[in-house]
Amino acid sequence: MIDALTHDSTLWVLISFVLFLYVAYRFGKNAVIGGLDSKIEEIRKEIETAESLRVEAQELLAQYQRKQRDAEQEAGEIIARAKDHAEKIKVQAETDLAEVMARREAQLADRIKRIEQNAMAEIKAHAAQLAIQATHDVIAQDLDQKTEEDLLSASIKTVSSQLN
């Protein structure tokens, strides 16, 4: 039986396999466990790093959201101020326009009044000229020489008395 056992290749394969497992377990156990432990530690560090990065990202997100809200609020205030300023400019422009229009209307009224006065003066001068010419024509036709000389001498006396 021992002889049969020594020649049986299955038995030797089994013994070799068990022996291999024992040696592998005895010498490889620490290496495999150490490798697994280091891998576990690496994974733990990556998780901690990822967690710290997540917290940091959340803080940055909160910061940017605050900045965005502040910027939107400031933009709203700027827009409100711009609208107020535009309204003030509009009111000032309307006031200035009304003043300019009133001034121009007054200037035009004065100009029209002066034009009317000049026209009236020209009409009066022309009417006086026509009256003088008509009077001269009438007098020239109706006066005789003696009356004309009397009128002329009376006019000269009147003018000389007014000049002195």
Model confidence pLDDT, tens digit, residues 83-114: 999 999 999 999 999 999 999 999 999 999 99
Confirm whether pTM is higher than 0.75: no
Model confidence pLDDT, tens digit, residues 37-59: 999 999 999 999 999 999 999 99
The gap from C-alpha 150 to its chain's centroid, in whole angstroms, comes to 90
For residue 133, pLDDT over 90 is answered with no
The gap from C-alpha 51 to its chain's centroid, in whole angstroms, comes to 45
Please give, one letter per residue, the 3-state secondary structure of 29-54: HHHHHHHHHHHHHHHHHHHHHHHHHH
5 within 8 A of 11, measured Cβ to Cβ = yes
What residue ranges do the domains of the chain occupy? Answer: 2-143
CA–CA distance, 29 with 35 (Å, rounded to integer): 10
